[in-house]
Structure 1
């Protein structure tokens, strides 16, 4: 069980706790349609059976080991062309929380959290619009805290199986009490959201770029045509597209479905053109 957060103004003041559920995002979206839930309401579970992430990937978590929750926000102040700012602000809030515990946390475009090229968590934001106004956003957050072994669609080549994942416990050697850490995470999220609500758009964009994994570095990518290429991340557009400068000096912008991030231990340099 989780108590309402006393350290925030509105985020986490109402907490809906479910021991297990299929998807906190789906439940939060259904509740916000049926009820006039206040901004900052949190739907949190110990076990999510049908969670999802970017690109339609599933998000599987060990029961009672990690944070799996959805937050209801009403960023009605954002114009359609500004909606990526919400993703940036939320990513920075999670980054700030993790930074208070361990170092080397970065944001992998568009909104995953990585430590030393291993995935710590992810964010999935699903928005509902009424004309040119965002009526509400359901912000799903999954953050690996105490899990030490990973299966199915999340894992790690060295810290678990079979892909790339890590947790705060694997990084620090400490076991964390989730109920004690949740207020600190909610405080960090509220702080960056209030910056967004206060119009600090440029500062948020700059902070996001500074935290961006691979910024200014040569990295490997796969385009939607299957071709592997080397490029340098130069930033993100206001609409949320990733900017990559190719080896020939040409800079292109990529949508989430147009480029896949690759890792040095997956492909040798001989495979790049």
Structure 2
């Protein structure tokens, strides 16, 4: 991971930059595009990602997970999410992954991810994994956002955290390649925000539900008064 690294002083979106490069050249597995200033960072389903220049990590990782079928793509999401937790839990407790791939500390978001896949038949071809990790930023316009520095009261060296994160991603990716799906899924569920707890959610109407599973293709599985239900991205809101 990161053997080929492209540093940009500023760019609109590292994911957009990665996608443009894939269309023009052969990209080695594990290529990283990183910037100090991402001006139009993107999250899931068109959301934006706020990041102060030079205070956080904003980068995209390009992988070639051709061993994964399209209907198994969420296994990659689980692996990368667990790598994020591996790093953050070394500094503090209280971190969890909020489905599908936001990293929370208690009830505040510290990291977000956007994974975009290109396909070759029924298999994945390229995966562009855009990661935003709040490290030293203190002020946010979004009240539910936080940073590692705000959580611990310390300031962090971005390069050190970046190298640690790439190392953990590589380890988790190798586990995924070796088909240890059960191990990583079990860990993902164990570290999942609100897993196995009764909470209120909204999907058209407010209802009581309990998260019980996640499908290999990414659907969230809930136990509800109407029975077991599956939800895709943006079909259910956490209240």
TM-score > 0.5 by shorter chain? yes
Distance 1:258 1:166 in 2: 25
**Where does residue 106 of structure 1 map in the other structure?**
96
Q: CA shift at 1:250, angstroms?
A: 1.7
Distance 1:204 1:60 in 2: 29
**Where does residue 230 of structure 1 map in the other structure?**
208
Correspondence for 2:237 among 235, 260, 264? 260
SS at match of 1:208: helix
Distance 2:90 2:187 in 1: 16
Q: Any unmatched runs of 5+ in structure 1? A: 1-10, 157-163, 263-273
Give the TM-score normalised by the residue count of structure 2. 0.97
- 2:42 matches 1:62: no
Correspondence for 1:126 among 116, 131, 145? 116
Distance 1:25 1:188 in 2: 21
Q: Which has the larger radius of gyration?
A: 1
SS at match of 1:214: coil
Correspondence for 2:12 among 7, 22, 47? 22
SS at match of 1:34: coil
**Where does residue 205 of structure 1 map in the other structure?**
185
Give the TM-score normalised by the residue count of structure 1. 0.85
Contact 2:7 2:34 in 1 (8 A): yes
Superposition pairs of residues 237-252 of structure 1, within 5 angstroms: 237-246=215-224, 248=225, 250-252=227-229
Q: CA shift at 1:55, angstroms?
A: 2.3
SS at match of 1:44: strand
Number of residue pairs aligned between Structure 1 and Structure 2? 239
Distance 1:240 1:127 in 2: 13
Correspondence for 1:184 among 164, 181, 185? 164
- 2:47 matches 1:76: no
**Which of structure 1's runs of 4+ aligned residues deviate more than 3 A?**
none
- 2:94 matches 1:116: no
Aligned-residue Cα RMSD (Å) equals 1.1
Q: Any unmatched runs of 5+ in structure 2? A: none
**Where does residue 165 of structure 1 map in the other structure?**
145
- 2:173 matches 1:196: no
